[in-house]
Each structure stands twice: as C-alpha cells, then as structure tokens.
Amino acid sequence: MNINVQEYLSALNEFTRRMDSMTQIYHPDNEIIFKPVCDHLGVSRIDTHYVPLIGKPVDTVIYGAEAPKSDVSITSKEIAQNGNVTEYTLYKKQGTPEWDNDDKQTLLGFIKIMFIIHGRHAVIQMAKRLTYGDPQMNVGNLAAFFGFVKRLIEQGRVSEFGTCRFNIKRLSMYNRNFGRDTGTLMMQRFIDGLRPLTENNVFRIGGDNFNLLFRKEKFEEIRAYLTGTPIKTDLVYPEEITMSARVGLYMCTEDDKSIDDIMSKITAASEMARTLSKDGCFVFDDDAKARADHSRMVESQFYAALDKGELTAFYQPKVDINTGRVIGAEALARWIKDGRIIPPIEFIPILERSNAICQLDFFILDKTCKDMKKWIDKGNEGVKCSVNLSRMHLGDEKLLEKVIGIIDKNGVPHDLIEIELTETTTDVDFDELRRIVNGLHQSGISASVDDFGVGYSSLTLIKDLPWDVLKIDRSFLPNGSDNDEQKHIMLRHVVSMAQGLGLKCIIEGVETVDQIQLLKDIGCSYVQGYYYDKPLPKEQFEGKLLAGYKA
C-alpha cells in the first residue's frame, strides 16, 4: 500500500495532541480521535488484550468496535517495566491495498506510540489515586472530599446531600484481640458496606476516621448502619462482630457556602456525639448550632473574661444543722457577663476540654484566699472554705507546689483550706490522686471526696488515702420517689462507715425540712444545700457568716 508518510505524520501529530488532553484512556471520543490516523494506516479496528502480573486479563476494543475482525491483522506484544503485558491487534480495513513491509514497520511504530500514551495515562491515574485516594481502603481521602464538596457547592447542589464524620468504635481493641490483619479486614468490610448507600462517596481522613457524602433520602439507612452492623471476621470465634461508629451527621443546606462551614459542623457534631448522645450518633441541627456557637464563645472569650474580672467566686454555706452555725463554705465559680450570671454547667465542661479549667481553678483558689484573708482580718477566724480542683490537674507534677504557693502568698493558714476532688477508677489516675491527697495531708490542707455516690463510688478506694471529708451527693437523699426506702438505708450505712473510717461527712443538696430531720436521726450534722442557701455573692455570704441560721 505504501502509506503517505507526510499526511500520516500530520494526522499522528493531531492524534497525540488530542490523546494528551484526554482524562481517560478509553474515552467515548476515541472513535473520532483515532479515525484520521487509522484511515491513513488502513486500519478498521484495534483490540487490546491486557495481562497484568496479578489479576485477570482484560480484553478491550479501543477503536472500531462496530467493525468486524478482518482476516488480515498485525499484532504486537508490549511489556511494561512492572511486568504487565499489553497485546495490541490492528485489523486491516477491507478493500484497502495490502500492507507491505514498510507499512508494517509504520504500524508497529504506531502501536509503540499508543503503548507510550497508555503508560503515561496509567502513571497519571496512579498519581491521582495517591493524591486523592487511600490505597489501603480503596476510598478517597480528605483532599478528594474537599474537591467533591467544593464542586457540589459551585453547582448549587450541596443541599441534596447529607454528610457525616465518623470514628469506628473499638478498632484498637479488635487489633489487640484478633491481630492487626483481622482488624483491618473488619474495617474494610465495614467500609465496603457503606459504598452502595453512598454511591461510593466514602473518604478516609486518617486512621479509623472517615467522612461520607450521601443523598438525603439515605439518612436513616446510614444512621442504622453506622450505629450497629454485624461484620464477618473470618475467625472461628467470634464469626461475626457488631461494629459501630461514633457519628456526627449534618444535612447540608443552601446556606452552606464553603467547605469550612460544613467541616466545622460535622466536626462539632462528632464531638457532641461523644458527650451528648446515647447511641453515639449526633445530628447537627439548630440546637447544636447554638451550642457550638456558645462553646466557641466560651473558648474564645474566657481568658479575656478572667482579665476583665468577669469571673468570680460565690460561696455556698455549709451549716451545722444542730446549731445553725455556718461552719464553712464551698467556693463555686460564676461568670458574670453583661449583667447575666452564667452558671458553671454552661462553661466548665467546655473549659475541661483544654487546660483552661486549670487556670480557672487557680483563679478561684486565689480569689477565695483573698476573700478569706479579709474575713480573718475582720476577726472571723474559723471559717473554712473548700475549692474544687478538676481532674484535668491530675498529671501536673507541680500541682501541689502551685496550690500551696497560692495559699501562702495570701497568708491563709493551711488548715482553713479544703480541696475537693472527685474519685477515680483508673489505676494511673489513682496513683496521681494518691500523690496529691498525701501531699495535701502532709501540708495540713484538707482533702474531700466530692460527689460521693455519683458513678463508681467505693469506700474501699477511699480508705486507702488520707481523706478528711466525704461529700455525699444528693442522689442518696430520699426525695419522695419510689426507692426512698433503699436510699435511706444506704445513706445511713455510708454515713456510719465513713464516720467509722474517721471521715467527716457533709450531705450536699439538702432542700427540705424532712431531709434535715432524717439527717438528724442518722447523726449526720453537716449539710450544704438550698434549704439554707444557694451559692451567694461574697457580701451576702459575709452577712450569713455572722448571723448564722435557725437551728
């Protein structure tokens, strides 16, 4: 035939230019792109037979799928550096002149060019997979999630979708108990089950943290899947385990204008899932938005508020029910912002997420010492005050030094200060608690067990440390409910056991005269509760300190 080299080269030029801008190797436009070159070469159809080193061979028609396989063809095997083989077959168009040796050389040259282009595509695809994908789980990564959400926002379609951030529960336990390979396999299967529900829009953020994008109508199915789905383990026992995740969900709206908006909502929701939800699943709604705004306000304004003097201590009297005398007080933090008193429940849990709570505790201790010093100077020598220390202090090696430093700086006698700490169940924390309670004891500062009866209280743990005071939670107090009889029995025993261990008992949250009578019967003299007073501002407390209450 003798191909017209000049014309063929210019067609080839155009061919390589267009193939270069192609995003996929097997593109619907291939027919148009291949046609001019193939016409010059007298080719009607191109087949490939791809044999990867691992996996099954794949047959593809890359040009002329409609054309029959003619009797005359030329075939060449190309081997890539990684060992994968591609066999190209070019079929001669019927009715065109025979191919001579020169033509065949040109055809083999064309196969080489296709092979190089295909190789280049494969490299680009791999780079994309590595940039936007997670090879282990075969899902997208954070960059892919960002890209996808950004496109949806640009196209004005984001409100059709819901999204979530989830963390697989107990994965490290599965790794430990069954081995890492089984752990990974279970995670893969758990993730695979989400593909059909999300049209494959699963993204790994790192470790066992993932994001999803799904059509809103799939919400219930996804929620049900993530809160508990049986997964095969391939072990003899257990054959199956119900896996679940901690999930923060959010239904996107037209108002979501940036990826940051959406990310901050699912991140906040997954935080809230940790603390606020029973099944580990939390949906970010208007309520949650108000909560998240409030958290942000607390986090961003707390330190400035300390400087501005917006934080202060209120004092709740502790009273001897037999004499009505104020025997001391608990200092409780209050944030007075724009004339409104923010109760601790609204900011302490937020400060406990960071070191900020420790700053607050030291501040309240300092403020309490300053107030006490004034009362002492006025001649009121006996009032003992307690201050709360959060668990977040455990692990601070300098804690004792800091506490004693604040007390001494203000010139308050050690025996007038009591530090309230809550119990702990873990061994590490217990060792820390031992160090602190012993240290306080040696310095002559009292230590009290706060909230006894909340959580896993145990007198066994308490007898091992030199505590001075047991503060019994109000959940032990009969209050007109069905199990009052039981509460009564437990309270009596706890009080007598604590007193037997040499601890002073204080009952918190006493509200009624019946409760006071009961405590008198049991022989427990000290109470703190609304029956006498709420936590009071300093000046009001000073009044009570002098006057006392009716016995």
In angstroms, give the least distance from the CB of 545 to ligand C2E. Answer: 17
Q: Under a CB-based contact definition with an 8 Å cutoff, are residues 400 and 346 in contact?
A: no
Selected range binding Ca ion among 35-43, 238-246, 419-427, 479-487, rule: CB under 5 A? 419-427
| Whole-angstrom distance, CA of residue 173 vs CA of residue 180 | 10
Helix H or strand E encompassing 57: none
Residues 6+ away with beta carbon under 8 Å from 9 = none
Residues 6+ apart with CB under 8 A from 3: 40, 41, 42, 102, 103, 106
Chosen residue from 212, 249, 342, 364 binding ligand C2E by CB under 6 A: 364
Residue 451 interacts with ligand C2E (CB under 6 A)? yes
Nearer to Ca ion, 208 or 330 (CB): 330
Pairing of strands 326-337, 281-283: unpaired
- b/e code 24-43 from CB counts within 10 Å (16+ = b): ebeeeebeebbebbbebbbb
Instruction: In angstroms, give the least distance from the CB of 363 to ligand C2E.
Output: 8
Q: Is-contact 488 460, C-beta < 8 A?
A: no
Q: Which of 333, 383, 440, 445 binds ligand C2E (CB under 6 A)?
A: 333
Q: Judge contact between 169 and 247, C-beta under 8 A.
A: no
323 contacts 551 by C-beta, under 8 angstroms: yes
Task: Choose, by CB under 6 A, the member of 509, 525, 537, 544 that binds ligand C2E.
Answer: 509
What is the smallest separation between the CB atom of 421 and ligand C2E, expressed in angstroms? 10
List, in order, residues 6 or more apart from 398 with CB less than 8 Å away.
none
Residue 478 binding ligand C2E, by CB under 6 A? no
**CB-wise, 271 or 420, nearer to Ca ion?**
420
Near Ca ion by CB under 5 A: residue from 103, 450, 533, 542: 450
Phi/psi for 447 (5° steps) reads -130, 135
| Residue 357 interface partner, choices ligand C2E, Ca ion, none, CB cut-off 5-8 Å depending on type | ligand C2E
Number of residues in contact with ligand C2E under rule CB under 6 A: 23
Q: Which one, of 401, 491, 389, lies nearest residue 433 by Cα?
A: 389
Binding partner of 332, given ligand C2E, Ca ion, none, CB within 5-8 angstroms per partner class: ligand C2E
CA-wise closest residue to 22 among 106, 105, 117:
117
533 belongs to the binding site for ligand C2E (CB under 6 A): no
Binding test (CB under 6 A) with ligand C2E, winner from 529, 536, 541, 545:
529
348 binds ligand C2E (CB under 6 A): yes
Backbone φ/ψ region at 503: left (φ over 0), alpha (ψ -120 to 50), beta: beta
Interaction between residue 468 and Ca ion (CB under 5 A): no
Coil, strand or helix at 219: helix
User: Please, which of residues 257-316 interact with ligand C2E by CB under 6 A?
Assistant: 316
Which residue lies nearer to ligand C2E by CB, 212 or 469?
Answer: 469
Q: Which is nearer to ligand C2E, 76 or 390 (CB)?
A: 390
- Interface segment toward Ca ion; rule CB under 5 A; list 165-173, 290-298, 313-321, 449-457: 449-457
Least distance in angstroms from the C-beta of 416 to Ca ion:
17
H/E element holding 410? none
Q: Which is nearer to ligand C2E, 348 or 416 (CB)?
A: 348
395 binds ligand C2E (CB under 6 A): no
- The answer to whether 78 touches 110, Cβ cutoff 8 Å, is no
C-alpha span between 437 and 450 (Å, rounded): 13
What would the two tokens of residue 381 be? 């020598």
**Binding status of residue 144 toward ligand C2E by CB under 6 A:** no
Select the residue interacting with Ca ion from 368, 388, 424, 457 (CB under 5 A): 388
Answer yes or no whether residue 390 interacts with ligand C2E by CB under 6 A: yes
Q: Is 418 in the site for Ca ion (CB under 5 A)?
A: no
In the set 31, 221, 451, 468, which binds Ca ion (CB under 5 A)?
451
455 binds ligand C2E (CB under 6 A): no
Q: Which does 372 bind (CB under 5 to 8 A by kind): Ca ion, ligand C2E, none?
A: none
Termini Cα distance of the chain:
121
Taking contact as CB under 6 A, which single stretch among the options 17-25, 51-59, 228-236, 340-348 is the one that binds ligand C2E?
340-348
- Is residue 537 close enough to count as binding ligand C2E by CB under 6 A? no
Q: Does residue 342 interact with ligand C2E by CB under 6 A?
A: no
- Please list every residue from 36 through 75 that binds ligand C2E, using CB under 6 A: none
Q: Token pair 């006498």 is at which residue?
A: 532
Residue 500 interacts with ligand C2E (CB under 6 A): yes or no: no
Is residue 326 at the binding interface for ligand C2E, with CB under 6 A as the rule?
A: no
Own/partner long-range contacts of 20-27 (Cβ < 8 Å, ≥24 apart):
20/117, 22/121, 24/121, 25/62, 25/117, 25/118, 25/121, 25/122, 26/60, 26/62
CB of 412 to ligand C2E, least distance (A): 17
Residue 332 binds to ligand C2E (criterion: CB under 6 A):
yes
Q: How far apart are CA 297 and CA 480, in angstroms?
A: 39
Mark residues 504-523: x for contact with Ca ion by CB under 5 A, - for none: ----x---------------
- If one asks whether residue 511 binds ligand C2E (CB under 6 A), the answer comes out as yes
DSSP letter for each residue of 234-257: SSSSSSEEEE-EEEEEEE--TT--
Interacting residue ranges for ligand C2E, rule: CB under 6 A: 316, 332-333, 343-345, 348, 357, 360-361, 364, 388, 390, 450-451, 508-511, 528-530, 535
Interacting residue ranges for Ca ion, rule: CB under 5 A: 388, 420, 450-451, 508
